[in-house]
Amino acid sequence: MDGLLMFSRRSFLKRSLFAGTTAGAFALAGQSSSASATLTKTQAGYQDKPSANQRCELCKHFAAPNACHLVQGEISTQGWCHFYSVT
């Protein structure tokens, strides 16, 4: 099976769940600006601590001083969610 990636069922399900959540977030983000285009912290998988060296203050969705374009409410600069991206 050279060249093929082998995934466990658990890995496949985790990636599928993340892909579905990501698609939902992009669908919300594509709504008109008059509608709320943010997710709850739970929906985004938000946590108040970083994931390795990934943290909200370095993310492209971060809005200083403590907000996010995708996540509702105040967030920590040291927080993290599934939508972390620097590009």
In a domain, 80, yes or no: no
Identify the pLDDT of residue 20. 64
In a domain, 81, yes or no: no
The closest alpha carbon to 29, from 47, 12, 43, belongs to 43
SS3 49: coil
CA separation for the pair 40, 35 (Å, rounded): 14
Strands, E assignment, the chain: 62-63, 67-68
**Residue range of the domain that includes 51:** 9-68
Q: Kindly give the parts of the chain with pLDDT less than 70.
A: 1-7, 12-13, 16-37
In a domain, 51, yes or no: yes
| The residue count for the chain | 87
**Residues 77, 53 contacting (CB under 8 angstroms):** no
In a domain, 42, yes or no: yes
In a domain, 63, yes or no: yes
Identify the pLDDT of residue 36. 54
Structural domains of the chain, count: 1
Identify the pLDDT of residue 28. 54
Identify the pLDDT of residue 19. 64
Question: How far from each other are the two terminal CA atoms of the chain, in whole angstroms?
Answer: 33
The DSSP symbol for 62 reads E
In a domain, 24, yes or no: yes
